[in-house]
Structure 1
Amino acid sequence: MGERPMMTGAEWLAGSLAASGQSHVFFVDAVLRPTLLALSRLGVKPVLAHTEKAAVYMADAYGRVSGRPGVVAAQSVGAANLAAGLQDAWLARSPVIALTGRKPHAAQHRNAYQEVAHAPLFQAVTKFSAEVAEAAHLPRLLRQAWAAAVSVPVRPVHLDLHGLMAEVVEQGRVAEPPADLSALVAPRFRGAPDPDAVAAAVAALGAARRIVIVAGDGAMLSGCGAEVLGLAEALEAPVLTTLGARALVPTAHPRVAGVVGSYSAPPANKVLEQAGLVLLVGCDTGDQMTHGWRLPRPGVPIIQVDADPLEFDRSLPATVALLGDPRAVLVELLDQLGRQARDDAFAREAAALVAEWRASVAPRLSSDATPIDPARLCAEISAALPADGILVADTGYSGIWTGTLIDLTTQGYQRAAGSLGWAFPAALGAKCAAPDRPVLCWSGDGAFHYHLAELETAKRLGIAVVCVVNNNQGFGQGWPNLRRAAGNDPAAAAELLRFGDHADFAAIARGFGLRGIVVERPEDIAPALRDALAAKETVVIDVRTDIEARAPEPYTPTE
């Protein structure tokens, strides 16, 4: 038998990414140049971004939408910026593989140009990080990193490739064929629950009244929307979701009471406060979901379903813990529960609370006020976004507006887990992962300023998304509080949180060769959205809104 043919590390890496189904990789020069050239020849599109954080945000959304890891790369000096961008992917439990160059061992601890220690930078934002000192190690470590990225808890991983631009690994030799990792998608394993735990949960659910189902990001990853609704019907239970699981189930479904926690409309927290038993499905118990750990009420029994054993009893005691893939667990619960006659009074109470709140906010959804009430903008997006559309929302007020007032019918919602400016680059990454689906980005003006340069990326590569800028000339979420703190001195408050009136985002888009539309009247929103969604290029819609308009505020239980 002859020896296996050798190939370079660059050829092996490019061949493996192509064989594994990657359509795009994201990077900032100068890194992996031979690999990127090889990828282009294999039909994988390299996406050159203008900042490492923007490149990571693209890879992050690509991973969330596709289920395969988003791949992002930067040279050694860009490692710190790249690591900073991974925070959102870590918080959102998104599969990302970060590749960085680093100078080899002989250059370490010798004041090498542009070199700092990489391991501490990535420690807090990756679940696996390893050095790749030579090409022969690349097959083993890429496979390990990929598997780690898509296994629960899904999170970013990092490979530090020797060479400033990873050239040591690229130029080395690999003695095995490229790897096909396409079968490894998130979530990699769908474990079944323990039968005794299922029986205990069925008994508790059968005896309980006023059950509330709270579905979180783990449920979204599992894709168990149909099972959640099936269980809601069987138990006559209202459904709440976290912001990240906003589109797990149709948001206007009669069983759905909205996003719960700190970024919610009032009915959701009221429903959770009245629960006699809470069923958590792939839902962590952090401060946002629990509204500062004030919900649910102390002592309420909790049945918790999660694929990650570390989520049990983290903040709230689990009366019954069901370890397994949420969809697999809910299938078992539905099978054993069957359909029983149950009192639907609580479900009707919850639906009445939602209906009452929707009626109260309805005038704002049709408001003709100028500057425009963002609630009207939400209503127009609900009407315009196609059923297969993907809505990408930034953090803060963007998450609250979109999570409470835009209705969605499919699993088409991606939101920043906390990083301001995430949404626009992420929208480009989402479009790369789903080229046939319309993608609409909601960004505030404060967030959009972060990554304006990626308009050039959208133009150069022909990536078509609709970017709606909620332009209120400032950071709107904290505006009233700061004004009060300033002794109701608007000028003093404005110095800290308001921008000038000179930013014309439509003109900026046109400066990059793209389309830009300014909307100052509510009646012009619908035609602008219609035209932008029909375009074959990125379109920026600069909507002039009222900074005094308040997004829905959560109900807070009294102590």
Structure 2
Amino acid sequence: MTMPHMGDLVAEMLAQSGVDAVFGMPGGQTTALHDGISRRSNRIRHVLMRDERNAAYAADAYARLTGKPGVCDVTVGPGANLLPAGFLEAMNASIPMIGIVGEVPLDWLQLRDKGIASQGFDQLSFFKTCTKESWLVPSVTALPDILRTAFRVATSPRPGPVAVIIPHDIFDADWDGISPPPLVDDRTVRMPYLRSTAPADGIAQAAALIRRAKRPALVCGGGVHGSDAAQVVTDFADRLGGLVVTSLSGKGSVPETRDYAAGVLNPLGSWAAIELVQEADLIIWCGSKVSQNTGMNWTLPKPDQASITIDCDPLEHGRTFRPTVPLLGDVREIVLALHKALGPQPERPDWAARIAEVKATGERQKAEEVASESVPIQPPRVMAELARRLGEDDIVVSDASFSAGWIAGYIPAKVPGRQFLFARGQGGLGYSVPGAIGAAETRPGTRIVTVAGDGAFSYTVGELATQAQFRQRVVNVVLNNGRLGWIQLWQEIFFKNVQSAMLETDTTRPGFAAAAEALGLKGFTVDTPDQIGPALDAAFAHDGPSVVEVRIDDRATPIHSFKRRMREGADKPRPRPGTVYKLREWKVSPDI
């Protein structure tokens, strides 16, 4: 057995911080870390990924479900330069992550330029562009303090990814197990690092504004889950007597089976949510950054809508509009305080009736899509079959593009909590398969379901081998239309049918179910609606990973504006070079 080294110190500090899984790819410069983890296999394990980018995605899913920083490790150079996709996803979605990054020895640093030191480049400058903070460890004695700082920064409001870059000679340096000591801060093992609440007068102003509202709406974002506040928010929503919608990342903040819940507010989300939020006289933005999609291209809030913002980041209170009442602090603490200050709520029967009316119209539209017997298959039919088989403990991992919309609109969240994972920080293709690996590591034995288009699935199909290696209970549903569906319709509607989004032709038809079988998974191919149920039943019964490939209509879309344009046959002319697009307007929300 080798003598203890600084890789042991890093592994020990990770284990003491509650990290029980590290996702990554070893290299010569990081072998000391892997040796340290192997000595502590009863407390911490390493999950070998096939691609470093996927290690970050797996760590991201791990963090979303546990609240603990997801940890990924990569070697210097070619390993390190694949991390930014996952880091940017975590950065924009406020997910705590720690990247342990290898580096050339300290006295080689001046030799990195132009590749003179094999694999070397300026990693510190590189990672500072896509993390909350990054550090190059300068000495053995500095390493434990930097690692403690990494946990604090990753979990503190606003959570996000950090990079700890450790030179080869520091990793390999001897460690006696005593000096430097592997001290950790137990306050930083889970987000949020510290909780705060808004001043009492702000809470009172917000409560008074809510009482005056005739048509209040609550918009829940991913910050609800980041604060572990879904049950608290559900209790508040039960009392509010108003509309509740969520962002994609906020799905599950309240059960969507409640009468007041209208689904996901997003161009590819719920039609009822989009319609109803326009009619609110007060919008409470709860843990939502009011992004382009949740803010419906920043048309929300409307000039006549009062607003309350609840967020731990002071820079979010006024980014695109000035709220009537800003409440700075932790979502859970503020909602608890609001709930206590609210007092008896006025009856709002007209608003409740309107919510029920619009939701019923939307449900009738969805029922027609779900009942379709057409071939190729309509995705809503697939989602309905999935929804019937999902248990309350099952986790659904969405890929980007249309998959997010199919899940959002047709698989309801039945209980409060983070049961749905959406890659919305960047919206990059390829999240679902590695995300499922990270999700499965948090809850051994729990079923994980992924939904991806064939374009997204192609990005990370090699990680199916990882699912097979670890015998994870993952059902991967591939909605295969042979196209990059969003791009194809965008080209057709706005650019008069430019065809560069075709993934297959009459002579090529990739088979993902067959590829899954070759990688050690069960594979099922579905061509007609009557085959969906039996294939899903077989996949759900399998004690291991599987792929269910469904051939779907290449013109199916969850985006309501696309549906409308195709129904109407409308054709927007191609934007001319030099077109000036109108900037969004910064608004001031009124009082009621």
Report the secondary structure of 2:485's partner residue. coil
Structure 1's 54 and 424: CA in aligned 2 closer, same or farther, altered over 3 A? same
Distance 2:486 2:554 in 1: 8
Q: TM-score, normalised by structure 2?
A: 0.88
Deviation at 1:305, TM superposition (A): 0.9
> In 2, distance between residues paired with 1:340 and 1:247?
24
Question: Which among 404, 418, 429 is matched to residue 438 of structure 2?
Answer: 429
CA contact (8 A) 2:525 2:548 kept: yes
Structure 1 residue matching 2:141: 3-state secondary structure: helix
1:41 corresponding residue in structure 2: 39
- Checking the alignment, whether the CA contact within 8 Å between 2:97 and 2:160 is kept in structure 1 is yes
Q: Where do residues 286-435 of structure 1 align in structure 2 (5 Å cutoff)?
A: 286-410=291-415, 411=417, 412-417=419-424, 418-435=427-444
- Distance (whole Å) between structure 2 residues aligned to residue 170 and residue 533 of structure 1: 45
2:240 equivalent to 1:238:
no
Deviation at 1:182, TM superposition (A): 5.3
CA displacement, residues 368-387 of structure 1 (integer Å, 9 cap, x when unaligned) = 21111001011011111111
Report the count of equivalent residues: 545
Equivalent of residue 12 in structure 2, options 12, 15, 34: 15
| Aligned: 1:480 with 2:489 | yes
Cα pair 1:19 1:181 within 8 Å, conserved: no
**Structure 2 partner of 1:92:** 93
The one-letter code of the counterpart of 1:25 is V
Contact 1:128 1:158 in 2 (8 A): yes
Overall identity of the aligned pairs, in %: 31
Give the match for residue 27 of structure 1: 24
Question: Partners of 1:275 and 1:484 in 2: how far apart?
Answer: 32
1:378–1:460 distance in 2 versus 1, CA, 3 Å = same
State the Cα distance separating 1:180 from its structure 2 match: 4.6
The reply on whether 1:502 has 2:502 as its aligned counterpart is: no
Decide which moves more: 75-84 or 278-287.
75-84
Contact 1:60 / 1:70 at 8 angstroms: preserved in 2? yes
Match of 1:217 in 2: 222
Instruction: Find the counterpart in structure 1 of residue 140 from structure 2.
Output: 135
Residues 168-225 of structure 1: per-residue CA shift (max 9 Å, x gap): 2332436044345555201222212211111111111112221111111111212322
CA apart distance, 1:483? 2.8
Q: Which amino acid aligns with 1:137?
A: A
Does structure 2 conserve the Cα–Cα contact (< 8 Å) formed by 1:431 and 1:464? yes
Counterpart in the other structure of 1:3: none
Equivalent residue in structure 2 for 1:188, among 163, 172, 193: 193
SS at match of 1:108: helix
1:168 aligns with 2:175: no
Over the residues paired in the alignment, what is the CA RMSD in angstroms?
2.0
CA distance in 2, matches of 1:98, 1:294: 37
C-alpha spacing 1:483/1:434, structure 2 compared with 1 (3 Å):
same
| TM-aligned CA deviation for residue 339 of structure 1 | 2.4
**2:487·2:501 contact (CA, 8 Å) conserved in 1?**
no
Contact 1:285 1:316 in 2 (8 A): no
Which letter maps to 2:264?
V
Report how far residue 284 of structure 1 moved.
0.6
Following superposition, the deviation at residue 485 of structure 1 comes to 5.2
Q: Counterpart of 2:109 in structure 1: which amino acid? A: Q
Matched, 1:448 2:449: no
Q: Which of the numbers 513, 517, 530 marks the counterpart of 2:524?
A: 517
1:370, 1:522 within 8 Å by CA — same for their partners in 2? yes
CA–CA distance in 1 between the matches of 2:132 and 2:540?
A: 38
Secondary structure, counterpart of 1:496 in structure 2? coil
Q: Counterparts of 1:415 and 1:144 in 2: how far apart (Å)?
A: 28
Please, which runs of 5 or more residues in structure 2 have no aligned partner?
Answer: 565-583, 585-592
Residues 1:67 and 2:67 aligned together: yes
- Work out the CA distance in 1 between the residues paired with 2:84 and 2:467: 23
CA-CA distance at 1:122 after TM superposition: 1.3
Contact 2:7 2:36 in 1 (8 A): yes
Q: String of CA shifts for 1:398-438, please: whole Å, max 9, x gaps.
A: 11111111112132000112111111101111111121321
Paired residue type of 1:479: Q
Give the TM-score of the pair, scaled to structure 1: 0.93
One-letter code of the match for 2:543?
K
Q: Which amino acid aligns with 2:182?
A: P
**For residues 273 and 554 of structure 1, what CA distance do their matches in structure 2 show?**
16
Could you tell me which amino acid in structure 2 is paired with residue 547 of structure 1?
D
Listed one character per residue, the Cα deviations across residues 125-166 of structure 1 (whole Å, up to 9, x for unaligned) are: 211211112222111011100111111111001101012xxx
Counterpart of 1:439, as a letter, is I
**Are 2:485 and 1:460 equivalent residues in the alignment?**
no
Residue 40 of structure 1 aligns to which amino acid in structure 2?
S
- Answer with 17-26 or 314-323: which moved more: 17-26
